[in-house]
């Protein structure tokens, strides 16, 4: 059995590590980077502080600050043009998943010259592209260490998955201090996204011992700290632990892939603009219940790592506790139902076939312990809408 494990060439972890960026870029030979910054990071002064730190080391950086939520092929093209026009030789993303995926996709477009719609899965884009350094500002997406970028096809209103080493940042700087200003909803939603990455890596049909170790570490960190950070957004120790959990979850999922939760969640996000972690949360209990019997030992291990079950609990009981705990977590973290979020019932049900088509086309449902048929996918979508919480 041969496992292929991919991760960035360099990962810096710790409070204040963002100020090591000049040294990281010098190590890569990058002298004229473009900072792709989330507008919030610009407003808070983090982007300018990094640019000043670079300037002191003789590195002249440009700043692109018009990153949009759920980046599209069109918004990525704007960044790619800016890279070419400014003769930049690398990209530094500072922000959440949208900023990081924008930078990754722009590097791919600039280097390959191909449109993203031609590069999406099932194609695997293993290629050397312009260097990307990722500095995440949320504890969640894991995009700083994954070989995946999710970009919406603006014309088709569909999330495209770009997969391969071309989408893997060459370096990641994981500094939890950047998450201290992250508001409640973003903190919680991205935290659940990280939890979902760890869970889907652990139970994945592409599972391997390396991803399993990282996923269990992530589940332990997230289980002990997600509610803690939700209760006190200024809890530095909890913020630091969540950042580590999200990093390990990202490394785990990058070396397996996502599964049915993400498969169902991405079309909901693309069509109804539900934030990514929130749409994962909306289907998390449901998909776990659906999948439990196909991998009872792994779901039980997840329940124990999260602290939702004990070693004394048998696998079946631990699995039941996991589903109940996910339902309770959604309630406690105020995850809205689809209806409460404002998704129109008629439009949702009219678009069921399209959501099923997009979900299956992403390929990730096939990585789930229990592989759904198209009609089971539709049933899960129906149940997700009717779900009113407990």
Q: Residues interacting with Fe ion, by CB under 5 A?
A: 193
Which long-range contacts (C-beta less than 8 Å, at least 24 apart) are formed by 227-231?
Answer: 227/329, 227/332, 227/333, 229/187, 229/191, 230/184, 230/187, 230/188, 230/191, 230/332, 230/333
Q: Among residues 130 and 188, whose Cβ is nearest to Fe ion? A: 188
Q: Least distance from C-beta 55 to Fe ion, angstroms?
A: 35
Q: Least distance from C-beta 278 to Fe ion, angstroms?
A: 11
Q: Least distance from C-beta 89 to Fe ion, angstroms?
A: 30
Q: Among residues 86 and 363, whose Cβ is nearest to Fe ion? A: 363
Neighbour count for residue 85 (Cβ, 10 Å): 9
Helices (H), 156-275: 184-203, 209-231, 236-254, 260-272
Q: Among residues 33 and 191, whose Cβ is nearest to Fe ion? A: 191
The closest of 149, 135, 132, 261 to 194, measured between CA atoms, is: 261
113-124 burial: b if 16+ Cβ within 10 Å, else e: eeebeebbbeee
Q: Least distance from C-beta 214 to Fe ion, angstroms?
A: 15
Interaxial angle between packed helices 184-203 and 209-231, expressed in degrees from 0 to 180 and rounded to the nearest 10: 160
**What whole-number distance in Å separates Cα of residue 131 and Cα of residue 153?**
24
Q: Among residues 193 and 327, whose Cβ is nearest to Fe ion? A: 193
Q: Among residues 199 and 356, whose Cβ is nearest to Fe ion? A: 199
Q: Among residues 17 and 364, whose Cβ is nearest to Fe ion? A: 364
DSSP SS3 for 99: helix
Q: Least distance from C-beta 102 to Fe ion, angstroms?
A: 16
DSSP code at position 72 = B
Q: Least distance from C-beta 68 to Fe ion, angstroms?
A: 18
Q: Find the Cα–Cα–Cα–Cα dihedral 379, 382, 384, 390, rounded to 10°.
A: -100
Residue number of the CB atom closest to Fe ion: 193
Pair of tokens at residue 11: 């990962």
Q: Least distance from C-beta 42 to Fe ion, angstroms?
A: 25
> Taking a C-beta distance cutoff of 8 angstroms, is the pair 159, 151 a contact?
yes
Q: Least distance from C-beta 179 to Fe ion, angstroms?
A: 17
**What whole-number distance in Å separates Cα of residue 280 and Cα of residue 190?**
10
DSSP code at position 171 = E
Pair of tokens at residue 343: 């998704």
Q: Least distance from C-beta 257 to Fe ion, angstroms?
A: 11
Pair of tokens at residue 203: 């139970």
Q: Least distance from C-beta 223 to Fe ion, angstroms?
A: 18
Q: Among residues 38 and 193, whose Cβ is nearest to Fe ion? A: 193
Q: Among residues 190 and 220, whose Cβ is nearest to Fe ion? A: 190
Q: Phi and psi at residue 97, in whole multiples of 5°?
A: -60, -35
Q: How far is the CA of 319 from the CAs of 201, 261, 328, in angstroms?
A: 17, 16, 14
Pair of tokens at residue 362: 């992403």
């Amino acid at each position: 059995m041969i496992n292929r494990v991919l991760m960035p060439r360099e990962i810096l972890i710790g409070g204040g590590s963002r100020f090591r960026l000049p040294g990281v870029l010098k190590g890569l030979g990058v002298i004229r980077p473009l900072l792709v910054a989330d507008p919030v990071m610009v407003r808070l002064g983090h982007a300018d502080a990094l640019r000043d730190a670079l300037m002191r080391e003789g590195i002249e950086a440009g700043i692109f600050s018009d990153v949009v939520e759920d980046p599209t092929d069109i918004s990525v093209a704007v960044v790619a043009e800016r890279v070419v026009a400014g003769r930049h030789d690398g990209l530094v993303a500072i922000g959440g998943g949208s900023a990081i995926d924008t930078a990754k996709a722009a590097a791919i477009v600039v280097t390959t010259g191909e449109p993203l719609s031609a590069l999406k899965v099932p194609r695997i884009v293993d290629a050397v592209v312009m260097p990307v350094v990722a500095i995440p500002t949320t504890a969640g997406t894991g995009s700083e260490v994954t070989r995946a970028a999710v970009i919406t096809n603006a014309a088709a209103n569909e999330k495209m998955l770009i997969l391969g080493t071309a989408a893997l940042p060459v370096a990641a700087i994981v500094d939890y201090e950047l998450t201290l200003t992250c508001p409640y909803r973003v903190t919680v939603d991205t935290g659940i996204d990280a939890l979902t990455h760890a869970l889907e890596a652990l139970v994945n049909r592409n599972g391997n011992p390396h991803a399993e170790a990282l996923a269990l570490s992530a589940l332990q960190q997230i289980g002990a700290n997600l509610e803690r950070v939700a209760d006190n957004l200024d809890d530095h120790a909890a913020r630091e632990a969540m950042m580590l959990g999200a990093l390990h979850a990202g490394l785990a999922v990058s070396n397996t892939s996502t599964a049915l939760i993400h498969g169902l969640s991405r079309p909901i996000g693309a069509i109804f603009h539900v934030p990514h972690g929130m749409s994962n949360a909306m289907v998390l209990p449901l998909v776990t219940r659906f999948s439990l019997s196909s991998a009872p030992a792994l779901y039980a291990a997840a329940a124990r790592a999260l602290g939702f079950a004990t070693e004394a609990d048998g696998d079946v009981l631990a699995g039941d506790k996991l589903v109940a705990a996910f339902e309770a977590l959604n309630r406690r973290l105020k995850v809205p139902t689809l209806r409460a979020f404002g998704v129109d019932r008629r439009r949702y049900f009219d678009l069921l076939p399209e959501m099923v088509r997009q979900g299956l086309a992403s390929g990730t449902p096939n990585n789930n312990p229990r592989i759904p048929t198209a009609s089971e996918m539709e049933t899960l979508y129906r149940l997700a809408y009717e779900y009113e919480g407990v």
